[in-house]
Structures are given as C-alpha cells and as structure tokens.
Copies of this chain bind each other. A is one copy, B any other.
Amino acid sequence: MSNQPLPAIAEDFSAWYNDIVYRADMAAASPVRGCVIIKPYGYEIWEGIKNALDTRFKATGHQNAYFPLFIPMSYLQREAQHVEGFSPELAVVTHGGGEELAEPLVIRPTSETIIGEAYANWIQSYRDLPVLMNQWGNVVRWELRTRPFLRTAEFLWQEGHTAHATEAEAEEETLQMLDVYYDVVYNVAAIPGIKGLKSDSERFAGALRTYTIESMMGDKRALQSCTSHNLGQNFAKAFNIQYLDRNNQLQHCWTTSWGLSWRMVGAVIMAHGDEKGLRLPPKLAPYQVVVVPIFRNDDERSAVLGAIEPIKKALVDAGIRVWIDKREDLSPGFKFNDWEMRGVPVRLEVGPKDVANNVVVAARRDVPGRDGKRTLPQEGLAASVSALLDEIHNGLLAQATTFRDANIHDVSTYDELKQVVEAGGFARGWWEEDPENEKRIKAETQATHRCYPLEQPGGEGESFLTGRKAKRVALFAKAY
C-alpha cells in the first residue's frame, strides 16, 4: 500500500492499467502461466455485472444449466470452421485417475459442441422449442501473455445457447440478447457502447452472423464487450439438432449463442479511469460510499466514530454499499488518495465540526477538487446520497459519450484512416465486405474492422480504400 503516483495515463496507458489493477487489489499474479488470481475488489465488480445480466436473462425467459468442462476432441471436429478457429488455443487432458485416456478431452474453449450434442438428444418436436439456456462458468483458451481481465488462459463468462424453429426467431433472439448486453453496458457500467455487426473475417468460428458491442477505452482503442451469434443451421447440421414441425416434417433447428466475460471488468477500468486511478460506476462499485472519520484526539475520535454509526445504518438500510475507513496510523489525506485510486464514487468526510452541525462533506470521485464537494445535512442523507450516485452514473456516462464522439472520425481515404489510427480513435468509412483488404489494413496499421454499426447513415458511398460502391459504413480501430 502506497500513495505513490500511478504511471501517467496519457503516456503509458498499459503501465497505468497494470499498476492500477494490482494497486487497487483487483487481481494478483498467479504461479500458473497464463492465469491470474482475481481478488475480491475485482471479483465483486464481476459479481455486479453477473447479477445484472442474470436478472435480465431470467426476465427474458432463459434458465441456467451446467454442462461438462470436458469436451471429447472429436466433437470439436464436427464443425469445420469451429475446430479451425479454436484448435491453436486448446488445453488437452490426456490422463485421468492415473491412466491415459482413450480419447483426449479438451477443456471447453466454448460449449457450442457439447451443448449441440445435448440439444440433439433433447429436442424432438416443435413443442420443445425454443430452448433457452445459459451457463455461467469458466473456459480455457491457451494463452501465455497475460493481462488481468483482458487476456488470460482461463476466464469466467456466461454463454447462452438457444434453439429455435425458424431463422426469424433465431435472429430475433440474437438481437434481443445484444440489447440485453447493451442495457447492462450502458445503464450499469455507464459505457456508451456501439452495437454493430462483425465482418465475415471477424465473426465467430461457425456463425452465420456475429453482433458485437464495441466500446471505446481511455486510450481510444476499441474493446469488444460481448458477442451475440446467429449460428444459422451450421451447428444444428453438424450435431443433428432436428425437430418435427407441425406438419410432421423433420427440420433442422436454428441456433444462437451469446457471451460476455470478465473482460467487462477491464472495460470498466479502461473506460472510466483517470490519472488518479479507478472511477467505478456506482452500480458496480463494491463500496459506493466510503466514510473517512477526521479527528485530532481521542475525544474527537469517539464523537466522530459515534456519529458515523447511525449515518452508516441509514445508508445501509437504503441499500447503499458503505465502508467506514477506521484504519489507524493513516492520515485522512492518505485515505482520500487511496480511495480515489480505488475509484469509490462518493467519499464522506466527517469531522468534529460536521458532527456539531449535523452535516457531512461529500466528495464526488468524478468531479475533481472543490467543484465536486458539497455539504449535506445528515437528515435525509440516504436520499441525497442515492441521488448523488445517480448523478455520478450520469456524469460518467456523459463524459464517456463526449469522449467517444470526439474520437470517432469519418474517413474517405486510406491516408485519413492511417492518420486517425495513428493519432488514436475510431475511423468510420464506407466499406463493403473485403477480407483481403481487411488483412492488409491490419498488417499495415494494426487497426481491425470492429463492426458495421447497426446505426447507419443510409444511402451509399465509396469505399475509402478501393473507391468501390458501398452501402454501409464500418468502424476500424486498434483493439484489445
């Protein structure tokens, strides 16, 4: 624990990120290469995201289930694109219970195959449809370079898997779940993501269409925050997921899958953090309010701590997550810096004068200095703090939206794209499917096709690269 300044966010975003993750005690290095340990302060943010999603999944008729961690190698091979996409990243179990296995088992990199096999057994008739399931769990995609939350061999996520009678229903589900994600990204994490469709070369291995939410981080890079896939009949055909329709005809199902991982914790850090550290959106902050007692002697100490108890109770009763920082041997100033670094949305300072006047001093994490401070009466404090938390949510969202909009640039030539990418930001330009030139742009600029935003200008234009007619604009950016 120290109050040393963080690496400068504007100069070395990556060092700033790593430092903050470890200093705010969100994660720790692990002895296993490729893996990190997620500590409580990071895990609680994930729990917040998880609860927000789980409630919405259930409200839209989905149920949780649990499928095996292990997948027979032969399953992955049934969907040609799928195995090609995932083979380089597999962890393989060859021994179990002291013996070599007859068929090696893969640790799930994602569960379309094993769930597809199960659905094929379970689904017989149109009466069994739709099947709407979700799984919370861990997956493994082999990886030796680690960045906490962003890149690890094992990560936690959810994966939804549904089966439908028609293509239209599958598409509706795919877009519904994109909207559910958007709701959480926007209204819970306070990140103004951009909904879009992936290009053919960026879509999920085995999918018909992949939708995404692309969010802009503080260094103007993109982070894919989730994906929702319309799998068409690809997996249904590979795994014989069939049903008898109302006319007693055998049909293949239409399936979808959709996932969001603890990457979102990384997105929260990088979308909102500043030079002082984290700035946590109130709905996800493990502590929404920290109370720092201020005193110079034992009498003041007992008066202040005595006054804080009923304040805490009132806030807790109103469902506000509160922490009283009673640490000894640390000055209030040190504590202020520490909690600013850890991103707590509201700091309440309580000293002897405040006790005498029945007030507290509230400081907003999102507005620095004096402008962010106000004196609040202790009476009705829960209501005023609740309102303040809403203001902070809106404040973070507004700042992130302004930042995002200032850093999306329309480009009409490749040179312009290069300038945008070089300076940082998302380049938006007319584009039609062109996998070869996507590769070239990536090789030459490191920028990738992020998505065709669902919100389009309409009409048509000319590809900024080839000049060919194009009906859609696409976003290009460097990405995590």
Q: Which residues of A approach B to under 8 Å, CB–CB?
A: 28, 30-32, 34-40, 43-44, 47, 63-72, 75, 87-98, 104-105, 107, 114, 117-118, 121-122, 133, 137-138, 140, 142-144, 153-154, 156
Q: List 9 A-B contacts (CB under 8 A).
A: A28-B121, A31-B117, A32-B68, A39-B65, A40-B133, A88-B97, A91-B93, A97-B142, A107-B107
Whether A153 touches B96, Cβ cut-off 8 Å, given contacts A37-B66, A66-B38, A68-B35, is: yes
CB-based contact B89/A92 at 8 Å: no
- Interchain CB contact (< 8 A) of A93 among B36, B39, B92, B138: B92
Q: Please give the distance in Å from A137's CB to the nearest CB on chain B.
A: 7
Specify how many copies of this chain sit in the oligomer: 2
A107 / chain B contacts, CB cutoff of 8 Å: 69, 93, 107
A144 / chain B contacts, CB cutoff of 8 Å: 97
CB-based contact A30/B142 at 8 Å: no
A156 / chain B contacts, CB cutoff of 8 Å: 66
A153 / chain B contacts, CB cutoff of 8 Å: 70, 96
CB-based contact A114/B31 at 8 Å: yes
Q: Please give the distance in Å from A204's CB to the nearest CB on chain B.
A: 20
- Interchain CB contact (< 8 A) of A68 among B30, B72, B96: B30
CB-based contact A43/B66 at 8 Å: yes
A67 / chain B contacts, CB cutoff of 8 Å: 30, 37
Q: Please give the distance in Å from A117's CB to the nearest CB on chain B.
A: 6
Q: Please give the distance in Å from A86's CB to the nearest CB on chain B.
A: 11
A133 / chain B contacts, CB cutoff of 8 Å: 40
Instruction: Knowing that A34-B96, A47-B64 touch, tell me 9 more A-B residue pairs with CB under 8 angstroms.
Output: A28-B118, A28-B121, A32-B105, A35-B68, A38-B65, A39-B65, A91-B93, A94-B94, A137-B138
A30 to B90 CA separation, bound complex (whole angstroms):
21
- Interchain CB contact (< 8 A) of A65 among B32, B35, B37, B142: B37
A71 / chain B contacts, CB cutoff of 8 Å: 32
Nearest CB in chain B to that of A115: its residue:
B37
A75 / chain B contacts, CB cutoff of 8 Å: 31
A96 / chain B contacts, CB cutoff of 8 Å: 34, 90-92, 142, 153
A90 / chain B contacts, CB cutoff of 8 Å: 95-98
CB-based contact A28/B91 at 8 Å: no
Closest 10 CB pairs of A and B: A97-B142, A40-B63, A35-B68, A92-B95, A38-B66, A96-B142, A94-B94, A91-B96, A32-B68, A32-B70
Whether A72 touches B138, Cβ cut-off 8 Å, given contacts A37-B67, A38-B65, A40-B133, is: no
Q: Please give the distance in Å from A91's CB to the nearest CB on chain B.
A: 5
A91 / chain B contacts, CB cutoff of 8 Å: 93, 95-97
- Interchain CB contact (< 8 A) of A89 among B37, B66, B94, B97: B97
A69 / chain B contacts, CB cutoff of 8 Å: 35, 107, 138, 140, 154
A93 to B153 CA separation, bound complex (whole angstroms):
13
CB-based contact B68/A44 at 8 Å: no
CB-based contact A65/B43 at 8 Å: yes
A420 to B143 CA separation, bound complex (whole angstroms):
56
A71 to B40 CA separation, bound complex (whole angstroms):
20
A96 to B153 CA separation, bound complex (whole angstroms):
10
Nearest CB in chain B to that of A70: its residue:
B32
A97 / chain B contacts, CB cutoff of 8 Å: 88-91, 142-144
Q: Please give the distance in Å from A247's CB to the nearest CB on chain B.
A: 17
CB-based contact B37/A118 at 8 Å: yes
A96 to B38 CA separation, bound complex (whole angstroms):
22
- Interchain CB contact (< 8 A) of A94 among B35, B70, B92, B121: B92
Q: Please give the distance in Å from A386's CB to the nearest CB on chain B.
A: 21
A28 to B123 CA separation, bound complex (whole angstroms):
13
A40 to B75 CA separation, bound complex (whole angstroms):
23
A70 / chain B contacts, CB cutoff of 8 Å: 32, 35, 153-154
